[in-house]
Structure 1
């Protein structure tokens, strides 16, 4: 009996099944290494997760094939388990692998695409998912910027662009005061609309990306967008807070002129002289508040402009081989 088993274990069929087992295990290891390099770029966390998935699949297939032990020896079961696990991993990571190839291609394309916008690059390489994702994100961002710009230009009534002069009739002062009040109200509405605009942009981009990107890439892209939205939202809120403060001060200042109409004189230089010292002090205090509000607007506007330039320069670095 012992001699029979030894002879069986050394038979050509047994040796062949052993070769199959070792070869299939080598194939599995090669696929894991390939995906680790291409998809996770050697990341320890990504590779560990991939190896964990592969090991789990091997265990599952080993349990299933254990019930076929009478028909299959251990090497044959190992070969089948390794090949099945390899097929599963390749199928499960098929989108990630494609994105990895697209990423490699996109890096090469963007390194020599200075002066070309994302939409043009995507149209030139329609099958590249990464370039398509960048183009979709860019279009969604531009749509939001147009809406934000519309809020900016629509907040201030045209009346505030006119020089009313402190010697204007009382009726005109009232119109100007009301226009400042309307501008402040519009600015508060614009400030409140910022988060909603960014939220709609994120929802639109999420829907687009899910059509052709794996979930992991969708999440990472949206996370980058979320961080940008957070930065931009804080900057824009600061900007609109300054605008609101400015219009509130304008309303108070013109209302002060309306309330004291006929009790002050205006010199040719524009200087206003009040009959009452208390009214003059109030007027001077409002002028200081107005000057401070203007400084806040200019500071906030500069911060917004710098952020926009940073994003633009970031794309220029990407498309000139300078990195992100």
Structure 2
């Protein structure tokens, strides 16, 4: 007679046969760096997350280093924004300066640089606009300039999140032509037009000033479309593919990991983080237990990279 409980009788046996594990090497921690001085500004909708100016960044970098997390995803928030998002690809832009500073302090830290114009444009959209239309092909050269600029500053991985068609091929070509053939591209391949992003837009100051992003981000009702998007990105040169958000899209992560023999990243996004934090602060849930259960679910679905605002807490829990 089969008795499944034999393998659940105590923690030692449960650990012995556990199928899915999270390792600190799997974790990527997002960091928000804002132009200015002496800034450590809390993001109210994301308890425990802050915007840092470069002169205050050491305390965050030291905390990341001590946790054992070795990879970060960098978002820059400029003081100046314009129609073309010029600070995104300026050699002295906030993100470029931040990357140089991080590499000077922790050269071994893996820096993943987000590539998108939304934080840098005055209108908050991810591409150039003309008469209310987000322009696809005209935006690609700017994404290429931004990618090369971030790599020149020291970024280890480029992560295009804009969802413009053809941007992976264009960026790969630009990187290769500039001698950056060994820089991987982590593509936000299946990025859905989701309601889970609202706290991030508070953190990155990137909310669109008009309309929404549904004409270029994916419809959350579509699963097969995600497979097409990922297949195209791989053909264009992506090295890692991403599904974003994670919790409502575990089926997509599962399909992607089963079909493509490429590393899959899951972005445990700001709204998912904020819901857990809010419920925990109200005493409704056990935060540690829920966070680990959520991340194990993403890993079990097939994600090999976990981008999460919980990363430092998880790293410390794993030490315990």
TM-score with structure 2 setting the length: 0.23
Higher helix share: 1
Higher strand share: 2
